[in-house]
Amino acid sequence: MTFPTRRLRRLRTSAKMRELIQETTLNPSNLICPVFVQEELKARIKVESMPEIEKLPLDDVNDEVGTISDLNIPAIMLFGIPTKKDDAGTSAFEENGIVQKGISQIRSNFGDKIVIIADVCLCQYTTAGHCGIVHGDKIDNDLSIDTLSKIAVSQAKAGVDIVSPSAMMDGQVAAIRKALDDEGFTNVSIMSHSAKHYSSFYSPFRDAAECAPKFGDRKTYQVPFTNAREAMREVETDIHEGVDIVMIKPALAYLDLIAETRRRFNVPVAAYSVSGEYALVKGAAKQGWINEKDITAEILYSIKRAGADMIVTYFAKSAAEFLQES
Ligand code: PBG
């Protein structure tokens, strides 16, 4: 009989032993919960392509944030769906815009008991549905970063903690940092969607946020999913421009980039597990083909293992629940 010289199974002999040697941990404090607030809504609406996700009227936002906070999730990411769209994306930076109202309401109710992160983008707010300002048949980078800066400042005035630009315009972090500092908001942080890829994983979100582009696609601004070095250049550029937290998006098909970012840079790394990742799990679980809870845990632990410090996920509430049970 031959004997193995190394016995790795020795450390797997009991649940307590496995607990002792567990390398990666996941806590509700690692999670960020997306919240959709829609202007002029009378009651919650379900998002068809994202089971159990709802768009909320302003009046329901505090309830929702209360639920999230009671689950020990420290942060929300707020997305607004306005009634009015125009070419300049005006409703994105108005003082009484839907996101601004949401932020100030949450802030006055919860004080510093929750970290408020707000999406800074134009696609929900412009007629064309692009993440920047359209000029002719192009997305104009430099006009766009002016508007993105206005959005960030308006959110800061409403009381946001972290602004999260997702437009993938060049120089957006530098422009926003300068605008915030000029207005005295030196303590408002920036979590940039640094390497946001051109991805088919976003389509359920576009149903929810009503932000699909009316012409063309987002290929002239989002990172091609074939390019890892280019993604690292995006991250490096954001760091150079003064970002506080970088983000890799989507997460599950991009674990290599999360790991690479963790290895190369010393900034906090967020991963955004996007709507399509959620929809895949929900769809298969509904058929009974996979176990939703087990697979969610495996996915979130894997994103953490790859190197993410925090995860934006539509599973935030359900994961926080099962993490607290175990
Ligand atoms: C818009 C935005 C998108 C997402 C977040 N912000 C969609 C897009 O770029 O088309 C996707 C999020 C998700 O799919 O969960 N700037």
Q: Can 157 be counted among the known catalytic residues? A: no
The reply to whether ligand 1 has any atom less than 6 angstroms from the CB of 206 is yes
Q: How confident is the model over 135-154, as pLDDT tens digits?
A: 999 999 999 999 999 999 99
Torsion-angle region of residue 189: left (phi > 0), alpha (psi -120 to 50) or beta? beta
Max Cα-Cα span within the chain = 78
- Domains of the chain: which residue ranges? 27-325
Q: Which of 196, 282, 304, 317 is catalytic?
A: 196
Residue having the nearest C-alpha atom to atom 2 of ligand 1: 166
List, as own/partner pairs, every contact residues 55-58 make where C-beta atoms lie below 8 angstroms and the sequence separation is at least 24, other chains included. 55/81, 55/208, 58/98, 58/101, 58/102, 58/105
Write down the pTM of the prediction.
Answer: 0.97
Helix axes 275-286, 292-306, angle to 10 degrees: 150
**What are 253-307's pLDDT values in tens digits?**
999 999 999 999 999 999 999 999 999 999 999 999 999 999 999 999 999 999 9
Nearest-atom number in ligand 1 for the CA of 272 is 15
* Closest Cα to atom 7 of ligand 1: 202
Instruction: Clarify whether 249 is annotated catalytic.
Output: yes
> For position 208, what pLDDT does the model report?
86
DSSP string, 32-57: EEEEEEETT-SS-EE-TTSTT-EEE-
Q: Ligand 1: distance of its center to the CA of 322 in Å?
A: 27
Which atom of ligand 1 lies closest to the CA of 314? 15
- Mean pLDDT, contiguous 10-residue spans, the chain (326 residues): 95 98 98 98 96 97 98 98 96 98 98 98 96 95 98 98 98 98 98 98 91 94 98 98 98 98 98 98 98 98 98 98 88
CATH architecture assigned to 27-325: Alpha-Beta Barrel (3.20)
